[in-house]
Structures are given as C-alpha cells and as structure tokens.
Amino acid sequence: MNFIGNVIWIVFGGIFIFFEYIIGGLILCLTIVGIPFGLQCFKFAILGLAPFGVRITHTASSTGCLATVMNIIWLIFGGLWIVLTHLVFGLLLCITIVGIPFGRQHFKLMNLAFSPFGKSIS
C-alpha cells in the first residue's frame, strides 16, 4: 500500500516538492553558515519524494541545546513558511475522503518542518 501511495504522491506533485527542496538545499550549502540548514532541506527532499511508510523519530543528541537554537533560527528564517504551506495543503487535502492519506503526509512534513534538527527519518 505504501508503494501505491508513494507513486500517486510523486505523480501529483511529490516530484516538484523533491526538486524544490534539493534546489533550496544546494543554494543553502553555498555558504558555510547555511550548510546545516541545507542538510535539513535534503532531509525534507527524501521525505518529500516518498513520505508513505517513512517514520520521523526524535534522536538523542550530545550537542546539548544546539538543536533547539538551530530549530529556532530555522523557524524564524523560513521554516515558518514551510510549516504554513504544508498546513494549508494538508487541510485542503483532508476535505475529501480520498485526500485524507495525502493530507496526513503533509502534516508529517509539517511536523518535520517545525523542528528538523534532532529528528531522523527511518
């Protein structure tokens, strides 16, 4: 069932999400300061291409509060717009019964976009 969901997701816009996050990640990696944020965009790209069957888990970090500080910087400088975009698409897709599984995937992406540092995709 995950395979069918991922194929439908890719055909109806997942490929565009993938390329947007890849391009954004490459642009962010042009600067040394932007490399951590670019790596998070690559994490989004993987999940944006095939979100069905993928779990987001919280990883314990030995960096202390660095992940929290990076999440705050991420949210202020662009993460909020990603969160709002996935929220709107998730709500629009949940209007119909057929769109509910795809809306739930947008909510999964929204959760990751809210605080990507300290989370892993498995």
pLDDT digits (tens, 9 = 90+) for 72-113: 998 988 888 888 988 999 999 999 999 999 999 999 999 888
Range of the domain at 61: 2-121
Residues paired with 56 in a beta bridge: 121
Q: Are 108 and 100 in contact (CB under 8 A)?
A: no
The number of folded domains in the chain is 1
Residues 6+ apart with CB under 8 A from 34: 27, 28
Residue 29 in tokens: 């990696």
Of residues 25 and 60, which shows the higher confidence score? 25
Going by the DSSP 8-state scheme, the letter that residue 121 receives in this structure is E
Determine the Cα–Cα distance for residues 82 and 87; give it in Å rounded to an integer.
9
Average pLDDT (11-28) is: 89
Please state the rounded mean pLDDT for residues 40-52: 90
